[in-house]
Amino acid sequence: MLKYLHLRIKSFGYAAAGLLFLLKSEPHARIHMLATTLVIIAAIALDVTRQDWLWLVLAITLVWVFEAMNTAIEHLCDVVSSQYSQSVKRAKDVAAGAVLIAAIAAAIIGILVFYPYIRALI
């Protein structure tokens, strides 16, 4: 049981190392971190409802998951093919496109959530 627990704790360490690598190596991840921080500050300041928090958390999570997967795909592609490959380029482009889709969806969710609160202030 202790060995199992130790292995689970180690796996959290690997996940944390992956997230740190993501933040250190990917400029877009740092932009996502800034956006995440601003959204959280705005949501607290505007005292959004629990339901609106759920939408914001879903949108934030969606972007982060796709950014992490994009980074993993890019690095795996670089290992598989160190030379230029049209197929590798397409895989990387599609993964980046998935992040863009998630970011656009998150922006739309943010507008839909925050608009009534900002309108009430004006």
Residues with a catalytic annotation lie at 67
- Cα 31 to chain centroid distance, Å, stands at 10
Sequence letter at residue 37: T
- Which pair of tokens denotes residue 23? 């933040």
- Nearest CA among 91, 67, 71 for reference residue 81: 91
- Cα 25 to chain centroid distance, Å, stands at 14
**No. of helices (H) and no. of strands (E), the chain:** 4, 0
